[in-house]
Amino acid sequence: MNRVSFIELPAANLDAAKKFYGGLFGWTLADFGPTYSCTMTGDVDVGLQGDRQEQALHPLPVIQVADLEAVLKSVTAAGGVVVKPIFSFPGGRRFHFRDPSGNELAAAQYE
């Protein structure tokens, strides 16, 4: 556990992004509502976030953890800053934080 399991990319035009990655790499993307789509390989998957209100500014690495609340405490104790508190999504829960260098990451616990 404690491994990068997901990379989320901001997608200014979701349909264009799906067509680009699907055509370029042959990825099959599953839609989760009108503004989100992702691969479902079970390895390191890629998500495309089309909702500008929900997008990170840069690619967002998501780290799979076993105990989300414990990691939240560890992030703040280590000097990280929580920028999006724990929330649910289809398949689990996660939160976003910034490391001391200002990089945004997420920690996720999957169901």
25 membership: H or E segment, kind and range = helix 14-25
Q: What pLDDT was estimated at residue 1? A: 80
Predicted model pTM: 0.92
Write out pLDDT tens, residues 87-108.
999 999 999 999 999 999 999 9
pLDDT tens digits, 68-91: 999 999 999 999 999 999 999 999
| pLDDT reported for residue 40 | 95
**Cα gap 60→76, rounded to integer Å:** 19
Please report the pLDDT score of residue 47 as a whole number. 97
User: Could you give all domains of the chain from N- to C-terminal order, each with its CATH number?
Assistant: 3-110 (3.10.180.10)
Residue 34 buriedness (CB in 10 A; 0-12 / 13-18 / 19+): exposed
pLDDT tens-digit profile of 11-36? Answer: 999 999 999 999 999 999 999 999 99
